[in-house]
Amino acid sequence: MIEAIELTKQFSEFTAVDKLSFHVNHGEIYGLLGPNGSGKSTTMRMLLGLLKPTMGTARINGFDVQTHIVEAKRSMGYVPEEPVLPERLTGWEYINYVSDIWRVPRGSERDEEIDELLTLLDIKDASDDLIETYSKGMARKISLVAALIHSPKILILDELQAGIDPRGAATIKEILAGLSDRGNTILMSTHVLEIAERICDRIGIINKGSMIAEGTMDELRLKAKGQQSLEDIFLDLTGGPDMQRIADFLGE
Amino acid sequence: MLEDLLILIKHDLGGILRVRNVKGMRSERRSAFRRLFRYVAAAIFAVIVLWGIIFMVQLLGWSFFQTAIIAGIDFGATIFNFLVIISFMGSIAVSVATVANTSKMEYLMCMPISLRTLFLEKTIVVVFYNSLIYLIIGIPIVIGLAISSPVPFALLSIPVFIVMLLGNVTLGVALGGLIGLTISRFLAGRRRLKQIGWFLGTSLAIVISTFYYYSLYAADSGFSQFFSIILDFAKQIGLSSDFSPGGAMNAVTVRLIVGLPVNPVDILLAFLFVLVSIMLIYVNAIASETAHYSGWLASGSKRSSKREVKIAHTSWNPSDIPLLKMTTTTSVSMWYNTASVRREGRVLANYLVGPMRTVLWFLLIFLAPGGTMASFAPFIIISAMIPFAVSYGVYFAGYELVYEGKNLMNLQLAPASLVDYVKGKVFSAVPFTMIATGIASVLVIIVQPSLWIYIPAVFISGIFLTLASGGIASYSAATGGDFKAQRNISRQRGAAVQMPIRSMWAMARAHLIPNMIGFIGIGAILGIGIFLNPLYSYLVVPIFALICIQLMRSYVGKSGRKLQTIEASEYL
Ligand SMILES: Nc1ncnc2c1ncn2[C@@H]1O[C@H](COP(=O)(O)OP(=O)(O)OP(=O)(O)O)[C@@H](O)[C@H]1O
Ligand SMILES: [Mg+2]
């Protein structure tokens, strides 16, 4: 469903993503992990067609993103890392806006669906407020509603769980599991390794724009000999904290 | 694509033009007066104009109007061309700013629409903003004249006027946007050239278009030889007007109202201009899309070099400028303001040459009666320094204060005086005023060497005028600024279609008061010098300076205190 083939992105002289290849199968939840600045968001933006890769190909649902961008986008829902939303619209208006663009037929069915999602994520009571009044977590939730309302086959979620309350996080986890059971494909990035460990079918760890490990949890464990938890594996592969410097800093 | 476009426009304008309060409990409730004010004001204005025209026609008789309009028939073209030029000049950075801010539109970009549709829609919204005021003023005038006119088909001029107006504004905006994108294309990847490139590009675009404008406007003055080929061509193909969008618009609207014959060639030309406008706005969208994907606008890019380049952090050691005591906060603020404006070439260029538009306005007023005022040219150049001095204050101290946005939180938390901080912003405008007045002084000396004696007086007054204007603007910003401006596509820095100061009164105060002070002050300096003795002029300068300093101090103080108390919900 999602294919990245030697994706490369250079920002002037800096290579943010370096010949990254991976694929996400139908109905799979794929977790993209990596330190800050390792290129997760940039990769996602290239898959979505928001950025043009310097080299390589991104294929969504069989469509090459560069040549068939609108067709590719039609099957994707995206929650950005830092949702910047139309502040002068209310949540309800925004969701209707998105639904119109995606040609979700107007009518009571659609309204009920929106209502259901808003209630599920506990933001129903704010739906008539301007988005500029939303808290960070609320903005992310409304952005998830916008991504789900047109029932996309593929979801791309960039640090969706960041700043979401425990109840919301649990709800989201269930929703994602349910969607994947129904055959939806999900690509997500997160820094919460525990979430990744629990809900992802496969995990890719990238560092400095390149894939350094990929596979199911079991495969990753095998790779990082002896390490059990994802956190240990992650730190083993990408480097742990520099204890000497920390001591120096605290001791000064 | 058309359907997508309409959906985008509908929702975009829906948020902007909201009349009713939203229902949610978190959102600000605005009184019916505040919500409806702009609509009611516009409607009342339109009705008064309409009624006034109809009344006057009844009073003086239609033939009076008809003769007057026919006698000055070319004036219509002048005005309409003026709208095109103003839209053009104001839009040079519009498309570039939109493309540069795509990260703020991710929610739109991931929708199943092509980016060119998206950019097209944003440009249409810009056209809408640009034409709004002209529509409000123009429609009642045209309706009034059209229903008063006994000429058959005069009423037809109403829809024709609206279409042509929108077409002409579109032409200006699209051309401006394209020029901006072209400049950015040339400057792509050249870090060093960026500021100077944008400055030259923008100035060149403004100067050339101004020349073209004047050559149309004062067809027998020296300017016209620059474009004589075009003008001759226009005559040859039998146009009733010159070869210009305003001329075409004039030919199919005003001539229609007063019953002058409308040439088929004119109609054809009008059609052509509308067609070209539509084409250009579409080309602009395609160019924006290309610019987005190819990353011309990627920030911080530079040509790669084989040599290793050491990264050196520039720092500035805050110190006192001779004769001027400054606190550290003031000097840091001054440095920061200059650095942050300078960093983006297009913002700097926009600020620096922005006042040219104001100057153009009053050149029009001065020159309107005809060439007889030409002997005043040196005085016009001298007074042209006033808008420059004023505008730099408004931009650097007023607008830049608003664009601090979220950073206000840091400032409020910092253990420094906001009054000093604002002062730094005001001071940062001064060097730019000095450069501009310096250039203007050279021009004056070339045109009229005998005026050299006033140059130092005007130069010094300009500096103090900037201080006063900066102070007043900072207060306008603190009281009426939209501290979330940067997040709004049409209010963005360096290409604002809507100004970052939202309150109408605050905006009027920021622009009108300092301009008035400037004209009165510099008028007094010149007047006393010419009628009494040039040396007396220099007695006025200290008084003027003192008044300006006093104004600055009082307003900067007020604005600093106001900023300290601004609630976080205004900027977060
Ligand atoms: N528009 C841009 N221009 C220049 N460099 C960029 C741009 N966007 C991203 N980068 C750089 O590319 C690299 C990868 O960024 P990216 O946002 O993809 O990281 P990330 O893995 O999502 O990090 P995080 O976990 O912090 O979200 C970073 O070094 C970043 O500085
Ligand atoms: Mg990221």
**Is B363 in the same domain as B279?**
no
Read out DSSP for B39-92? HHHHHHHHHHHHHHHHHHHHHH-HHHHHHHHHHTHHHHHHHHHHHHHHHHHHTT
Distance CA B557, CA A52 (A): 49
Mean pLDDT (chain A, rounded): 88
Distance CA B191, CA B186 (A): 11
- For A81, the closest chain B residue by CA position comes to B106
Is residue B458 one of the residues assigned to a domain?
Answer: yes
pLDDT of residue B232 exceeding 70, the answer is: no
Is residue B6 one of the residues assigned to a domain?
Answer: no
What's the pLDDT at B218? 61
Q: How confident is the model at residue B343 (pLDDT cuts 50, 70, 90)?
A: confident
Q: Which of B200-209, B386-395, B404-413, B563-572 has the highest mean pLDDT?
A: B386-395
**Is B274 in the same domain as B408?**
no
**Is B252 in the same domain as B343?**
no
Q: Is the distance from the beta carbon of residue A38 to the nearest atom of ligand 1 less than 6 Å?
A: yes
pLDDT of residue A43 exceeding 90, the answer is: yes
Q: Is the distance from the beta carbon of residue A49 to the nearest atom of ligand 1 less than 6 Å?
A: no
Query: Count of domains in chain B?
Result: 2
Q: How confident is the model at residue B140 (pLDDT cuts 50, 70, 90)?
A: very high
**Is B266 in the same domain as B332?**
no
Per the rule left: phi > 0, alpha: psi between -120 and 50, beta: everything else, B229 is: alpha
**Is B268 in the same domain as B350?**
no
Closest CA to B255 of B243, B266, B244, B245: B266
Q: Taking a C-beta distance cutoff of 8 angstroms, is the pair B329, B424 a contact?
A: yes
Residue that finishes a domain, picked among B301, B320, B352: B301
Token representation of residue B375: 């002997």
DSSP A31: E
Q: What is the mean pLDDT of residues B183-187?
A: 86
Residue corresponding to tokens 């020029």: B179
What's the pLDDT at B69? 85
Distance CA B559, CA B393 (A): 14
Is residue B29 one of the residues assigned to a domain?
Answer: no
Mean pLDDT (chain B, rounded): 82
**Is B457 in the same domain as B412?**
yes
pLDDT in tens, B238-270: 555 667 888 889 888 888 888 888 888 888 989
**More confident position, B349 or A96:** A96
Distance between A103 CA and the closest CA of chain B, angstroms: 9
**Is B188 in the same domain as B332?**
no
Token representation of residue B339: 């650095």
Specify the amino acid at residue B24: G
Token representation of residue A218: 């079991």
∠ CA(B420), CA(B425), CA(B426), 5° rounding? Answer: 95
Mutate to test the interface with B, among A74, A92, A99, A128 (most CBs of B within 10 A): A128
Beta bridge partners of A78: A156
pLDDT in tens, B487-516: 777 787 877 778 888 888 888 888 899 999
Q: What is the mean pLDDT of residues B355-366?
A: 70
Distance CA A186, CA A27 (A): 7
Q: What is the mean pLDDT of residues A29-39?
A: 91
Residues in chain A: 252
Specify the amino acid at residue A230: L
Token representation of residue B24: 């949610």
What's the pLDDT at A21? 93
DSSP A148: H
pLDDT of residue B211 exceeding 80, the answer is: no
Check B294 against A50: CB less than 8 A apart: no
Closest CA to A209 of A36, A30, A31: A36
Check B110 against A12: CB less than 8 A apart: no
What's the pLDDT at A195? 85
Contacts of the segment A2-5: beta carbons below 8 A, 24+ positions apart: A2/A30, A2/A47, A2/A59, A2/A60, A2/A154, A2/A185, A2/A187, A3/A57, A3/A58, A3/A59, A3/A60, A4/A43, A4/A46, A4/A47, A4/A56, A4/A57, A4/A58, A5/A56, A5/A57, A5/A58, A5/A59
- Inter-CA distances, A199 with A47, A141, A202, Å: 22, 19, 9
Comparing CB atoms, the residue among B107, B113, B295 nearest residue A84 is B107
CA–centroid distance, A39 to ligand 1, in Å, is 6
Distance CA A27, CA A153 (A): 9
**Is B394 in the same domain as B284?**
no
What's the pLDDT at B222? 46
Residue that finishes a domain, picked among B248, B266, B301: B301
**Is B217 in the same domain as B339?**
no
pLDDT of residue B316 exceeding 80, the answer is: no
pLDDT of residue B302 exceeding 70, the answer is: no
CA–centroid distance, B184 to ligand 2, in Å, is 28
pLDDT of residue B320 exceeding 70, the answer is: no
pLDDT in tens, B49-96: 999 999 998 888 888 888 888 887 777 887 888 888 888 888 888 888
**More confident position, B477 or B229:** B477
Is residue B17 one of the residues assigned to a domain?
Answer: no
Q: How confident is the model at residue B299 (pLDDT cuts 50, 70, 90)?
A: low
Which atom of ligand 1 is nearest to A9's Cα?
A: 12
Check B4 against A83: CB less than 8 A apart: no
Judged by average pLDDT, the poorest of A165-179, A223-237, B162-176, B531-545 is: A223-237
Beta bridge partners of A8: A55
Is residue B8 one of the residues assigned to a domain?
Answer: no
pLDDT of residue B469 exceeding 90, the answer is: yes
What's the pLDDT at B221? 47
Tell me the chain B residues in contact with residue A129 when contact means C-beta distances shorter than 8 Å.
22, 24-27
**Is B351 in the same domain as B295?**
no
Q: Against a cut of 0.90, is the pTM above it? A: no
Where in the sequence is the domain holding B269, given as residue range(s)?
37-301
Provide the Cα torsion B121, B127, B128, B134; round to 10°.
-170
pLDDT in tens, B100-126: 888 888 888 889 898 999 999 999 999
pLDDT in tens, B399-439: 999 998 888 888 888 777 888 889 889 999 998 899 888 88
**More confident position, A126 or B446:** A126
Q: How confident is the model at residue B305 (pLDDT cuts 50, 70, 90)?
A: very low
pLDDT in tens, A220-246: 787 777 777 788 888 877 887 888 888
Q: Taking a C-beta distance cutoff of 8 angstroms, is the pair B130, B169 a contact?
A: yes
pLDDT in tens, A154-212: 999 998 888 888 888 888 888 888 888 888 999 999 888 888 888 899 999 998 888 98
Mutate to test the interface with A, among B6, B9, B21, B26 (most CBs of A within 10 A): B26
Beta bridge partners of A2: A24, A60
Residue corresponding to tokens 């204050």: B393
Is residue B2 one of the residues assigned to a domain?
Answer: no
**Is B266 in the same domain as B336?**
no
Is residue B23 one of the residues assigned to a domain?
Answer: no
Q: How confident is the model at residue B229 (pLDDT cuts 50, 70, 90)?
A: low
Residue that finishes a domain, picked among B282, B301, B320: B301
CA–centroid distance, A11 to ligand 1, in Å, is 9
**Is B289 in the same domain as B214?**
yes
Q: Taking a C-beta distance cutoff of 8 angstroms, is the pair B263, B251 a contact?
A: yes
Distance CA B249, CA B235 (A): 17
Distance CA A39, CA B360 (A): 49
